[in-house]
């Protein structure tokens, strides 16, 4: 029972408090409620090390998980205050770039909920992912200092400090903790390391680098990319600082729990979230040998403790570091990495599996695979591609290490919190059980034939669309017709995700409308995306979308039928508003390139229907909902892989033979566009598409247009569409991160539940 009252934390009547005072009171209450619950513990614990935890706003999520949301809401209401005011006031900590960081946040929620002893371990960045604005129809970036308006109070300073040696530089860390509440369970912790010497005065100067300044800027920024030499060196410092702290913490805690270090694997599991934390491997070897363990045995211990998750097959995203970087930052690890490489070489001659290649570059993923006991991909197709193609040479060496863990999302944030309207409707029909056992959503299947229920689903979607329409107008002035189809693509801007394909469709539709075509119902195409600061083509695509949207939205002939809305500063909080209001979920990556995607799961859960390629987890979504309840198109991953292998794709040939495509592409550099946008940038994009189109948008254009037309036509059969929505919701249970975490635990970590 909750006996905690906000009033006890304010020192005066709630009605007399400022919003900041109320926020801080609610925060302190949350922390006390968490302490009262206690923390999951046990002999063995998993340390989920990640450079990113894209946790999003914390207050409501915590209150819901602690079961006190309604109490706090009521107490505020009694004092004439609205809890939504607090929710809007809260500043989002954007401590991640995208899917990988958000996945880590969903995982720590599920770990706590399932009663598994676990810590998330990472860095306490002072600024999260940059704040995006649009000026002259271009992306502008500002630092996102998030530790304000009470937010810093979520991080509790501890008295844990570790020394981290980087060459001749000695750094002294401080550990902070953020409580991670589980849903109706004990809590977990996020442990973030920082340096007291970091100088926030440097924030305005951007991501600069100077070795002397490392102490001042090490944790100042989350990395939005790593485009220049200096930035890369700073990234290596960040990675090493993160894992050295993690390794010291892990050894300390395991010894405290009774480990003699030889048996470390009985006390700790380390999950390496992509390659950013990979240096934990040689760092642990170093620390273990320092404590008297033979180096050979240390290799085995580390292999038994560590497991590695791969999140991409994109070569440019796989970290390799020139040896001289490591010599500068971690000279004491270089001999260890070299000996680890020698041990590999002695066993396997194949050049493609070496840790250090012939040019002296260190391949982080290779080190992970040799010195972990588990290697997993994040969706079935992705894992299959790793095994058969990208990492085939490793798979042949270690078939037993490879396994799949299809991603998941926490249903607490992604429906219970963000869509109470739908949550209530589901619960009315099938009870509360689905909230902790997501597979129970399947009990909704019979209701997919129930017209009253289907009408309710449509009504609730409609409510969300109206709410979003009101919100977006107030937020950025765009007027959106709630009766239009909400067609939504929100994710980082990347050529492989193919926002440009969606743009070409919109241009094509615009040209048709100009030609006299009058669609039955308007469509609003929403884009939300940030481009990495140094990713030129990604920024050009944003520019083209903004230029095009100004043309469409201001054309009285077209705008009643088509609108294009580019959302400013897309982040987790915005996703929580837009996903519940969405009709069509755009998941149109080039098949084989999107490892999994997790937005696709959030949309499905909220009753949006997927329009997508057979890529990543879309494949599993398609299998679950059946072909009547998803719209798929485009080349298969096999075809794509074959084209890359044969290097036989020529964009111009497609442009020449498809008139509709050519017209849309040409429009990018039309008079209208050049008037609305910047000639150089638009021409650059046009040339990139015609001359290269590396992610093969042209071959998929025709089938994309046809399939999207099919989806829009299906939308007009409202009952038929509602049925698709219902089936998507009913089948979403598989994508709960509780299921994913259970699988990690059963197959990789083997922790005992504390509940």
SS3 at position 189:
strand
Structure-token pair, residue 99: 């899917």
Pick the piece of the chain touching ligand GPU (CB under 6 A) from 78-86, 143-151, 161-169, 596-604: 596-604
Instruction: Report if residue 312 touches ligand GPU, rule: CB under 6 A.
Output: yes
- Pick one of 33, 68, 76, 103: the residue that binds ligand GPU (CB under 6 A): 103
Q: Is 89 exposed, middle or buried (0-12, 13-18, 19+ CB in 10 A)?
A: middle
Range in contact with ligand GPU (rule: CB under 6 A) among 19-27, 186-194, 458-466, 594-602: 594-602
Asked if 377 is part of the footprint of ligand GPU (rule: CB under 6 A), the reply reads no
Contact pattern for ligand GPU over residues 268 through 287, marking x by CB under 6 A: ------x-------------
Strands 374-377 and 306-309 come out as: parallel
- Give whichever of 83 and 103 is closer to ligand GPU, judged by the CB atom: 103
Nearer to ligand GPU, 248 or 587 (CB): 587
* 100 forms part of the interface with ligand GPU (CB under 6 A): yes
How far apart CA 490 and CA 621 sit, in angstroms, is 18
- To ligand GPU, the closest distance from the beta carbon of 411 in angstroms equals 17
Using an 8 Å Cβ cutoff, are 548 and 509 in contact? no
Least distance from ligand GPU to the Cβ atom of residue 97, Å: 6
Q: Of these residues, 81, 276, 492, 724, which one is catalytic?
A: 492
Total number of residues binding ligand GPU (CB under 6 A)?
Answer: 17
- Chain residue whose CB lies nearest ligand GPU: 99
CA distance 585 to 707: 13
For position 571 contacting ligand GPU by CB under 6 A, the verdict is no
Min dist. Cβ of residue 594 to ligand GPU (A):
5
Chain mean position to CA 169: 33
Residue 467 known to be catalytic = no
Which one of 290-298, 590-598, 620-628, 704-712 is the stretch in contact with ligand GPU (CB under 6 A)? Answer: 590-598
Decide: is 317 part of the binding site for ligand GPU (CB under 6 A).
Answer: yes
Calpha distance 569→566 (Å, rounded): 9
Shortest CA distance to 701 belongs to which of 507, 505, 443, 442? 505
In 3D space, the residue among 589, 581, 573 whose CA is nearest the CA of residue 696 turns out to be 589
List the catalytic residue out of 382, 401, 602, 723: 602
* CB count in 10 Å sphere of residue 474: 9
Q: Which long-range contacts (CB under 8 A, 24 or more apart) does 143-148 make?
A: 143/203, 143/204, 143/206, 143/221, 144/94, 145/200, 145/203, 146/91, 146/92, 146/93, 146/94, 146/95, 148/91
CA-CA distance, 664 to 670, in Å (whole number)?
A: 10
d(CA 88, CA 108): 24
Closest to 495 (Cα-Cα) out of 708, 689, 228? 689
Residue 210 CA to residue 79 CA, distance in Å, equals 52
Torsion, Cα of 476, 477, 478, 479 (10° steps): 140
Contact flag: residue 115 with ligand GPU (CB under 6 A) = no
Tell me which residue of 448, 432, 449 sits closest to 440, measured CA to CA.
432
Residue that the structure tokens 């609108």 belong to: 563
Question: Which lies closer to ligand GPU via its Cβ, residue 128 or residue 616?
Answer: 616
* Distance from C-alpha of 344 to C-alpha of 362, rounded to nearest angstrom: 13
> Of the listed 235, 497, 509, 543, which one is catalytic?
497
What is the residue-wise DSSP string for 58-116?
A: -HHHHHHHTT-HHHHHHHHHHTT--HHHHHHHSPP---SSSHHHHHHHHHHHHHHHTT-
Please identify, using beta-carbon distances, which residue of 75 and 368 lies nearer to ligand GPU: 368
Half-sphere exposure of 595 (CA within 13 A, CB side): 26
Q: CB-based contacts of 525: which residues, under 8 Å, 6+ apart?
A: 487, 488, 489, 502, 506, 562, 563, 564, 565
One of 217, 407, 559, 632 touching ligand GPU (CB under 6 A): 407
Least separation, in Å, of the C-beta of 494 and ligand GPU? 8
Nearer to ligand GPU, 599 or 699 (CB): 599
Whether residue 528 contacts residue 574, with contact meaning beta carbons closer than 8 Å, is answered with yes
**Smallest separation (angstroms) from ligand GPU to the CB of 99:** 3
Stretch that binds ligand GPU, among 223-231, 293-301, 591-599, 622-630 (CB under 6 A): 591-599
Does 356 help bind ligand GPU (rule: CB under 6 A)? no
Q: Is 37 a catalytic residue?
A: no
- The answer to whether residue 616 forms part of the interface with ligand GPU (CB under 6 A) is yes
The pair phi, psi for residue 143, each rounded to 5°, is: -60, 145
Any contact of residue 383 with ligand GPU (CB under 6 A)? no
CB-wise, 285 or 409, nearer to ligand GPU? Answer: 409
- Which residue in 598, 618, 629, 745 binds ligand GPU (CB under 6 A)? 598
Query: Catalytic site residue 289?
Result: no
User: Using the rule CB under 6 A, is 604 a contact of ligand GPU?
Assistant: no
What ranges make up the beta strands (E) of 297-372?
306-309, 320-322, 361-363
Q: Which span (169-177, 240-248, 346-354, 595-603) binds ligand GPU, by CB under 6 A?
A: 595-603
11: left (phi over 0), alpha (psi -120 to 50) or beta: left
Select the span of 241-249, 311-319, 566-574, 576-584 touching ligand GPU (CB under 6 A): 311-319
- Residues listed for the chain: 755
**595 scored as a contact of ligand GPU (CB under 6 A):** yes
Q: Tell me which DSSP letter residue 213 carries.
A: G
Part of the chain binding ligand GPU (CB under 6 A), chosen from 59-67, 95-103, 425-433, 443-451: 95-103
Told to check if 737 binds ligand GPU by CB under 6 A, we report no
Quote the least distance from Cβ 534 to ligand GPU, whole Å: 15
CA 254 to each of CA 45, 208, 359: distance values in angstroms, whole numbers, following the listed order? 9, 38, 38
Among 30, 217, 549, 596, binds ligand GPU (CB under 6 A): 596
Binding to ligand GPU by residue 311, rule CB under 6 A? yes
Structure tokens given for 113? 């909920």
Nearer to ligand GPU (CB atom), residue 558 or residue 601? 601
Establish whether 12 is a catalytic residue: no
Q: Which is nearer to ligand GPU, 72 or 630 (CB)?
A: 630
Give SS3 for 355. coil
368 binds ligand GPU (CB under 6 A): no
239 contributes a contact to ligand GPU by CB under 6 A:
no
Query: Residue from 277, 282, 597, 634 that binds ligand GPU (CB under 6 A)?
Result: 597
Neighbours of 684 (CB within 10 A): 17
The three-point CA angle 742-748-751 to 5° equals: 65
**Which CB, 407 or 550, lies closer to ligand GPU?**
407
Say whether residue 594 binds ligand GPU (CB under 6 A).
yes
Q: For residue 270, which of 746, 676, 744 has the smallest C-alpha distance?
A: 744
Q: Which is catalytic among the residues 45, 311, 435, 723?
A: 311
Q: Residue 598 catalytic?
A: yes
If one asks whether residue 489 binds ligand GPU (CB under 6 A), the answer comes out as no
Q: State in angstroms the smallest separation of the CB of 616 from ligand GPU.
A: 5
Taking contact as CB under 6 A, which single stretch among the options 92-100, 113-121, 601-609, 734-742 is the one that binds ligand GPU? 92-100
Find the radius of gyration of the CA atoms of the chain: 26
Nearer to ligand GPU by C-beta: 510 or 744?
744
Two structure tokens written together for 564? 């294009």
Instruction: For residue 587, state whether it binds ligand GPU (rule: CB under 6 A).
Output: no
Which span sits near ligand GPU by CB under 6 A: 99-107, 166-174, 396-404, 637-645?
99-107
Which residue has tokens 């946790």? 55
Is 645 annotated as catalytic?
no
The residues annotated as belonging to the active site are 311, 491-492, 497, 598, 602
Binding residues for ligand GPU (CB under 6 A): 97-100, 103, 274, 311-312, 317, 378, 407, 594-598, 616
């Amino acid at each position: 029972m909750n006996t905690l009252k906000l009033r006890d934390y304010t020192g005066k009547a709630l009605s007399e408090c400022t919003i900041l005072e109320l926020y801080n009171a609610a925060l302190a209450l949350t922390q006390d409620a968490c302490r009262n619950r206690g923390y999951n513990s046990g002999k063995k614990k998993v340390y989920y090390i990640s450079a990113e935890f894209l946790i999003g706003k914390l207050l409501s999520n915590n209150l819901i998980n602690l079961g006190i949301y309604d109490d706090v809401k009521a107490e505020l209401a009694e004092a004439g205050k609205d809890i939504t005011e607090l929710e809007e006031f809260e500043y989002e900590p954007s401590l991640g770039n995208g899917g990988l960081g958000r996945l880590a946040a969903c995982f720590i929620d599920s770990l706590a909920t399932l009663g598994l002893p676990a810590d998330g371990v990472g860095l306490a960045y002072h600024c999260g992912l940059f704040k995006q604005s649009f000026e002259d129809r271009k992306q502008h970036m500002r630092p996102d200092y998030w530790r304000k308006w009470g937010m810093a109070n979520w991080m509790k300073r501890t008295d844990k400090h570790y020394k981290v040696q980087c060459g001749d530089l000695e750094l002294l860390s401080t550990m902070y903790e953020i409580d991670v509440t589980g849903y109706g369970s004990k809590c977990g912790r996020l442990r973030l390391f920082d340096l007291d010497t970091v100088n926030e005065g440097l924030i305005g100067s951007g991501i600069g680098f100077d070795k002397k300044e490392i102490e001042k800027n090490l944790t100042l920024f989350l990395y939005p990319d790593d485009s220049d030499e200096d930035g890369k060196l700073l990234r290596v410092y960040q990675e090493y600082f993160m894992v050295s702290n993690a390794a010291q913490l892990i050894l300390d805690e395991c010894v405290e729990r009774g480990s003699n270090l030889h048996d470390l694997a009985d006390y700790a599991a380390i999950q390496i979230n992509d390659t950013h934390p990979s240096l934990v491997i040689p760092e642990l070897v170093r620390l273990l040998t320092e404590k008297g363990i033979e180096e050979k045995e240390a290799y085995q211990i580390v292999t038994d403790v560590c497991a590695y998750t791969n999140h991409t097959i994109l070569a440019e995203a796989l970290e390799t570091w020139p040896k001289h970087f490591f010599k500068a930052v971690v000279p004491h690890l270089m001999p260890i990495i070299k000996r680890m490489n020698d041990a590999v070489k002695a066993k396997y001659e194949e050049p493609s599996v070496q840790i250090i290649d012939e040019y002296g570059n260190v391949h982080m993923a290779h080190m992970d695979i040799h010195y972990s006991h588990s290697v997993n991909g994040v969706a079935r197709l992705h894992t299959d591609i790793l095994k058969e193609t990208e990492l085939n040479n490793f798979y042949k060496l270690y078939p037993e290490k490879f396994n799949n863990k299809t991603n998941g999302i926490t249903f607490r944030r992604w429906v219970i919190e963000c869509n109470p309207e739908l949550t209530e409707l589901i619960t009315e029909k099938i009870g509360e059980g689905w909230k902790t056992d997501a597979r129970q959503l399947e009990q909704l299947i019979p209701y997919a034939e129930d017209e009253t229920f289907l009408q309710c689903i449509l009504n609730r979607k409609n409510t969300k669309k109206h709410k979003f329409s009101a919100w977006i107008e107030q937020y950025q002035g765009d007027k959106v017709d709630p009766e239009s189809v909400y067609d939504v693509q929100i994710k980082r801007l990347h050529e492989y995700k193919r926002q440009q394909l969606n743009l070409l469709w919109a241009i094509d539709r615009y040209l048709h409308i100009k030609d006299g075509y009058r669609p039955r119902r308007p469509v609003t195409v929403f884009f939300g995306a940030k481009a990495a600061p140094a990713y030129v083509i990604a920024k050009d695509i944003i520019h083209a979308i903004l230029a095009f949207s100004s043309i469409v939205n201001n054309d009285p002939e077209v705008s009643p039928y088509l609108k294009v809305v580019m959302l400013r500063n897309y982040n987790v909080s915005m996703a929580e508003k837009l996903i519940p209001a969405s009709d069509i979920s755009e998941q149109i990556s080039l098949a084989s390139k999107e490892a999994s995607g997790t937005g696709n799961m959030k949309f499905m859960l909220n009753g949006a229907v997927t329009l997508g390629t057979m890529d990543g987890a879309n494949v599993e979504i398609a299998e679950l909902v059946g072909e009547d309840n998803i719209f798929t198109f485009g080349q298969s991953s096999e075809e794509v892989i074959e084209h890359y292998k044969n290097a036989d794709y020529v964009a111009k040939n497609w442009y020449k033979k498809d008139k509709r495509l050519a017209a849309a592409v040409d429009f990018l550099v039309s008079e209208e566009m050049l008037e609305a946008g910047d000639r150089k940038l638009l021409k650059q994009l046009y040339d990139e598409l015609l001359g290269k189109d590396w992610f093969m948008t042209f071959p998929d254009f025709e089938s994309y247009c046809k399939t999207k037309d099919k989806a829009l036509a299906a939308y007009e059969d409202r009952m038929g569409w509602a049925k698709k929505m219902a089936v998507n919701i009913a089948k979403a249970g598989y994508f709960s991160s509780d299921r994913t975490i259970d699988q990690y635990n059963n197959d990789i970590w083997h922790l005992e539940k504390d509940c």
